[in-house]
């Protein structure tokens, strides 16, 4: 494990905001001046392959990364674009590695789209004034 790879993993651990590869790169470039975008992308792929992180795709053409690898739901706010972990278990009766009708399940990507609590509170406050 190189220091840059450790830096990417540590960034994800400390920033549970489901950052994009670009956000991770921007967050690390001051601490690791020699780090490149390619290093970040390659490290994310490697960490994904070893199931140390998961890729979250809830927006078209925009991958985010999550330190949590346990099965859980994600919530995308259509107003502010934040992605939240939901602490409820997906109600899917199978998980990666299971077989369903002769097919091997490799990934589950459950997510919900709506308006987050924060945006709803801001909306409520705006109406009150």
CATH of the domain at 75: 3.30.1490
Residues 61 and 98 grouped into a single domain: no
The whole-angstrom separation of Cα 1 and Cα 10 is 12
Residues spanned by the domain of 54 = 1-69
Same domain, 4 and 65: yes
Q: pLDDT digits over 50-92, tens only?
A: 999 999 998 888 899 999 988 788 999 999 999 999 887 666 6
Beta strand pairing call for 54-59 and 62-66: antiparallel
- Threshold 0.85, pTM exceeds: no
Let me know whether 75 and 54 are in one domain. no
């Amino acid at each position: 494990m190189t220091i840059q790879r450790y830096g990417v993993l540590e960034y994800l651990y400390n920033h549970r905001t489901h950052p994009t590869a670009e956000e991770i790169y921007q967050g690390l470039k001051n601490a690791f001046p020699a780090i490149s975008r390619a290093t970040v992308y390659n490290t994310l792929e490697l960490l994904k392959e070893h199931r140390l992180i998961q890729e979250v795709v809830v927006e078209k053409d925009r991958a985010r990364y999550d330190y949590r690898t346990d099965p859980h739901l994600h919530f995308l706010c259509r107003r502010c674009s934040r992605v939240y972990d939901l602490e409820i278990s997906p109600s899917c009766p199978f998980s990666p590695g299971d077989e369903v009708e002769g097919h091997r399940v490799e990934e589950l990507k459950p997510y919900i789209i709506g308006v987050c609590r924060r945006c709803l509170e801001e909306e409520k406050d705006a109406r009150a004034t």
